[in-house]
Amino acid sequence: MTPAATIPVVVREVRPVTPLIRQFTLAREDGLPLPAFSAGAHVVVVMPGPARTLRNPYSLMGTSADLSTYDIAVRLSETSRGGSRFMHEAVAPGSKLAITPPVNLFPLDKLARRHLLLCGGVGITPVSAHVRELVHGCVPFEVHCGARSIEHATLALELQAIAPDAVTIHLDMPGPTMDVGSILAEQPLGTHLYVCGPGGMIENVIATARAAGWPQSHLHWERFTAPPAGKPFEVTLSRSGKRITVPPEMSLLEAIEAAGVDAPFLCRGGACGQCETTVLALDGTLLHHDVYLSADQKAAGDRIMPCVSRADCRTLVLDR
Amino acid sequence: MSTSTIKSRPVHGTLVPDPTGRHHIVVGEGPGSAPVLRMLADPGFPEHPRHVLVAPDPASGPAGLAALSACGVAEIVPDVPSLLRRLDALLGGCRMGTRLYAAGSESFLGAVVKIAAEHGLLDDERRTEHAGSAARRVHCTHCRHVNEHVTANLVACGGCGRTLLVRDHYSRRLAAFMGVQADAEQPGATPALQEVFP
């Protein structure tokens, strides 16, 4: 995937759905239909930020039944690196953006006999697409949405209207009230579990499921890690013959892109593995933040996922 | 002979307890009772909750299950079809966290895995160990007849009479290996008959 493959889109509608979440309706600038996608897919939105280009992944909320528009929802992050703030403050109906074609790293499992979907906060966005697909099928499903309060539960209420028997909303009072243990305890054989939400929620749900004997093949989660900030470091790109500095607030991938070097990516969240880059020389330590490489691969120090990972080093030479 | 590079050919392992499971179902057929006994004796295998069902195979009969009967923890089922019906009903009431273990002939393991798949069990929820006959169930890709207990690389199809070459290409849905007309590429050029699945 390269920046050249992006699709120019125009923002048709901006809708504040909760105090923290805005929903954006996007259409192709040329009016043609958007690419078809399956539930769970995301696009990367390319934002012409004031200082630099920002690229954030957002899940598509609708279905392929209507490809005239895509819907995404963006939660304003308290620790925004600029992306969610840009979407909330600088984007209005008529704004022009670009998106990558959809990629699905969080699909529904076609072999499932039953689907159990748990989401928290803005993690509801891929689940919105899943539910809209599942209501047309014959496989039973069950959805649990966690929200801070009823005014933060607009998207969950919309899902409940689509599938009243399947969707349960759990409001914090003040902490999370979703009893994951009892939800998981009585699920029939052949159930697949999907989780999307804050990192702590995903870890808790997956750990609870494993303790209850759920095998890996039935567990699915999606977590887009925002690239963590860190100390600046210098990198030599051997193939393109460039030497760049990665500033504290910029990811390695963003710095490579800012230097005009075409680098592959899909999720930009350390999950998919697309941006894997070979480390040719290193004097220092790689700071791996991805969930893609195994512990052994991380320890070997011969490759890095530049979308989220950094380095504390005197020398780093990448095959890029 | 058929190529063994085909990845759909079932690969069986050794029955060992999976400590991550919360409910364990063990099924065995004939000579499969030995691996079942071995696993039941494993100190890592939980006492409860578990179900153990074993059926005799036609060759050795109930006498082959004497050792297992003596230990008293297994339920002896009259024959394989009854065992498969029991397994189907049992899985229908099971919850996530269940693990399935099977030991027996190639055909038995295929039938068990097929039922397990119909209940949504995936590879990491079941373990299989081959014991006894390697004879294959062979599905004729021309007339769809299933030929039971095929021990050679070639078989005359009981449905259409074609001479079928037994491939390693396996269908989990049908729990059978694929048989294709042996001289389809070059009429009359049929490989030599070999007993390869004793």
Residues of chain B with Cβ-Cβ distance to A113 below 8 Å are: 119-120
Contact B97 A212 (CB under 8 A): yes
Q: Compute the nearest-CA separation of B120 from chain A (Å).
A: 4
| Residues B122 and B28 grouped into a single domain | yes
| Residues A201 and A149 grouped into a single domain | yes
Contact A213 B119 (CB under 8 A): no
Query: Which residue out of A189, A214, A216 would a mutagenesis test of the B interface target, given it has the greatest number of B Cβ atoms within 10 Å?
Result: A189
Minimum Cα–Cα distance from B120: chain A residue? A190
* B46 Cβ under 8 Å from any chain A Cβ: no
User: Does B69 reside within a domain?
Assistant: yes
User: Does B56 reside within a domain?
Assistant: yes
Specify the pLDDT at position B2: 47
- Dump pLDDT digits (tens) for B41-85: 899 898 878 899 999 987 777 777 888 887 778 899 999 999 999
Domain boundary among A58, A75, A104: A104
| Residues A198 and A240 grouped into a single domain | no
Using an 8 Å Cβ cutoff, are B140 and B179 in contact?
yes
* B20 Cβ under 8 Å from any chain A Cβ: yes
Domain extent for A269: 233-318
User: Does A172 reside within a domain?
Assistant: yes
Stretch (H or E) spanning B184: none
| Residues A99 and A119 grouped into a single domain | no
Contact B125 A217 (CB under 8 A): yes
The predicted complex's ipTM stands at: 0.87
Nearest to B96 among A111, A187, A216 (CB): A187
How far separated are the first and last CA of chain B, in Å rounded?
15
Is B107's pLDDT higher than 60? yes
User: Does A193 reside within a domain?
Assistant: yes
User: Does B102 reside within a domain?
Assistant: yes
Contact A210 B20 (CB under 8 A): yes
Number of domains forming the structure of chain B: 2
Phi-psi region of A244 (alpha: psi -120 to 50; beta: other; left: phi over 0): beta
Is B15's pLDDT higher than 60? yes
Residues of chain B with Cβ-Cβ distance to A217 below 8 Å are: 122-125
Nearest to A40 by CA among A110, A125, A114, A101: A125
* B48 Cβ under 8 Å from any chain A Cβ: no
Is A285's pLDDT higher than 50? yes
| Residues B82 and B125 grouped into a single domain | yes
User: Does B15 reside within a domain?
Assistant: no
User: Does B79 reside within a domain?
Assistant: yes
CA–CA gap between residue A88 and residue A21 (Å, rounded): 9
Number of domains forming the structure of chain A: 3
Retrieve residue A82's tokens.
Answer: 């600029």
Contacts for A174 with CB less than 8 Å, ≥ 6 apart:
none
**Burial degree of B12 (CB within 10 A; 0-12, 13-18, 19+):** middle
| Residues B170 and B113 grouped into a single domain | no
| Residues B153 and B95 grouped into a single domain | no
| Residues B116 and B27 grouped into a single domain | yes
Domain extent for B63: 23-130
| Residues B29 and B110 grouped into a single domain | yes
User: Does B73 reside within a domain?
Assistant: yes
| Residues A90 and A122 grouped into a single domain | no
- What are the Cα distances from residue A116, in Å, to A140, A214, B27, B55, B96? 9, 12, 29, 36, 12
Using an 8 Å Cβ cutoff, are A292 and A270 in contact?
yes
- Dump pLDDT digits (tens) for B164-198: 999 999 998 888 999 999 999 888 888 999 988 88
| Residues B31 and B119 grouped into a single domain | yes
Average pLDDT score over residue span A89-97: 95
| Residues A42 and A120 grouped into a single domain | no
| Residues A291 and A258 grouped into a single domain | yes
For A35, what's the count of Cα atoms within 13 Å in the CB-facing half-sphere? 17
| Contact residues, chain A to chain B, C-beta under 8 Å | 111-114, 184-191, 210, 212-218
User: Does A247 reside within a domain?
Assistant: yes
Domain boundary among A174, A194, A222: A222
User: Does B158 reside within a domain?
Assistant: yes
- Dump pLDDT digits (tens) for A101-131: 999 999 999 999 999 999 999 999 999 999 9
User: Does A168 reside within a domain?
Assistant: yes
| Residues B83 and B110 grouped into a single domain | yes
CA–CA gap between residue A58 and residue A102 (Å, rounded): 10
| Residues A181 and A272 grouped into a single domain | no
* Domain CATH code at residue B30: 3.40.50.80
| Residues B126 and B152 grouped into a single domain | no
Domain boundary among A42, A74, A104: A104
